[in-house]
Structure 1
């Protein structure tokens, strides 16, 4: 099982990519909408199903009342149409103005996600567009930085277009510095490419000097289902490529890093104290 955080330097399809990984996982999965700009899966893919009384925006109050650990799982909603419990969602903020209230809670949530990982779930974190406080540090008040610091893998979502590659370059620098100095190492960072443009994976890897860890098919029909809940269309190509990425290079990265950290005497990544 793994804790995988997806981020972007600019809007690059992070939410659709995270949703694809969560739905394609061969194991039970939990999709966490941690984007400070707010969550969209409940209103989009789930077509408004579920109550706004549940979700990330309620966790800050639970933390203040020392009930976060007890209430955490009560805020999950099902991503499965048949509600099997194998695909779960922690819905995101309903208003970006709620993000500052979570500044002291991100770390506690990261710890609880480690528990989900140990319980057999693949935890996929949609952290949205990065928010930095300097050229070398992510914000610790306006962004879920503790989740990235503890994740097994931090995947920067990049479209294979010149514009997306260009906007990703500053994010690579900031993420590499953050993970190197405050996380478990810069080797947690990789690229998750969306094959929209003409650049090859080797082109992008060379341009950003960061390994490509997975490739997702450019699949507008599935993106439409994920964004608008149009179930008349059957998601195919994107989910197949997401499954391939998870079972192959992403799993290899997670396994390799966990072995290396264990040999170095570092506690399990997701449960590591910050």
Structure 2
């Protein structure tokens, strides 16, 4: 049970990666589409199912009315008919112009995600491409920064290509500084690699100065289904690698929780505050 935020320096498959981790989790799981550029899972993987009457874009109004905690779970939709209620989605914004309205709501959402974590869910936050307000700060008005502050781990999604590694470097510097000053520590930052290019995990780790926490297979067929809809039998290569990644991600989370607990004593399902 953990809260894991995924982000990128440039488009690097964050949504597809977050969805793969959510669907392959060994525990009940929740995917939060917090990308300020808008959500795509409802119109893509779910094939347009559901209604725009629910989703992240409705939570700002609920927060203003004081009903956010009561209404929060009413905005979840099922991702997997096979495991109804076990794989959940909080759909993202339907219009990027809605993002500023959530500026003061992110803190409350972060607390509610902690409750989901404590109730036994793995929570994956698709934070999309990072948005900064300076060379050392994430935006506090146009980005779900409080979700990253309170996450057990923040994973930069990077393809093993020269272009992706280079575009990730500035974002890594911002995230490292942000988490050190305002989060739970710079050691929350790790790398989730998509094995598209020729660079090894060691090379990427050395270049970006952060540990590789997970590796996802380069599997365009599965990515196509996760991105555009389950209109054909889903291949399993990507999901198998995501299942393997859970093990190393959980190792990082467990280690950090031990370090952050007073006296180094972990709780069973709680998390560091």
TM-score w.r.t. structure 1 length? 0.96
1:254 aligns with 2:250: no
Partner residue, 2:232: 232
Q: Are the aligned partners of 1:191 and 1:211 in contact in 2 as well (CA < 8 Å)?
A: yes
Deviation at 1:266, TM superposition (A): 11
Q: Secondary structure at the match of 2:157?
A: strand
Structure 1 partner of 2:160: 160
Tell me if 1:176 matches 2:176. Answer: yes
Report the 3-state secondary structure (helix = DSSP H, G, I; strand = E; otherwise coil) of the residue aligned with 1:99: helix
State whether residues 111 and 271 of structure 1, in contact with CA within 8 Å, keep that contact through their aligned partners in structure 2.
no
Q: Is the 8 A contact 2:9 2:168 kept in 1?
A: yes
CA contact (8 A) 1:114 1:271 kept: no
What count of residue pairs does the alignment treat as equivalent?
271
Q: What is the rounded CA distance, in whole Å, between the counterparts of 1:96 and 1:75 in structure 2?
A: 19
> Partner of 2:220 in structure 1?
220
Secondary structure at 1:184 match in 2: coil
Find the counterpart in structure 2 of residue 104 from structure 1. 104
Structure 2 residue 4 is matched with structure 1 residue 7:
no
SS of structure 2 residue aligned to 1:126? strand
- TM-superposed CA distance for 1:249, in Å, is 1.1
Q: Displacement of 1:232 after TM fit?
A: 1.2
Q: Runs of 5+ in structure 2 lacking a partner?
A: none
Indicate if the aligned counterparts of 1:110 and 1:270 stay in contact, CA closer than 8 A. Answer: no
Rounded Cα–Cα distance in structure 1 between residues aligned with 2:265 and 2:182: 13
- Give matches, 1:25-174, under 5 Å: 25-82=25-82, 84-174=84-174
Q: Distance in 1 between matches of 2:5 and 2:105?
A: 17
Displaced runs of 4 or more, over 6 A: 265-269
Contact between 1:215 and 1:241, CA under 8 Å: does it hold in 2? yes
Give me the whole-angstrom Cα distance separating, in 1, the residues matched to 2:83 and 2:172.
38
Q: Post-superposition shift, 1:234?
A: 1.8
**Distance in 1 between the 2:271 and 2:197 partners?**
34
In 2, the alpha carbon distance for the partners of 1:230 and 1:255 equals 34
Cα pair distance change 1:20/1:202, threshold 3 Å: same
| CA distance in 2: counterparts of 1:126 and 1:270, whole angstroms | 20
User: Any idea what SS the aligned residue of 1:146 has?
Assistant: helix
Could you tell me how far apart the structure 1 residues matched to 2:149 and 2:266 are? 13
CA drift at 1:84: 1.4
Cα distance in 2 between the residues matched to 1:83 and 1:67 = 29
Unaligned residue ranges in structure 1 (runs of 5+): none
Separation in 2, partners of 1:249, 1:267: 18
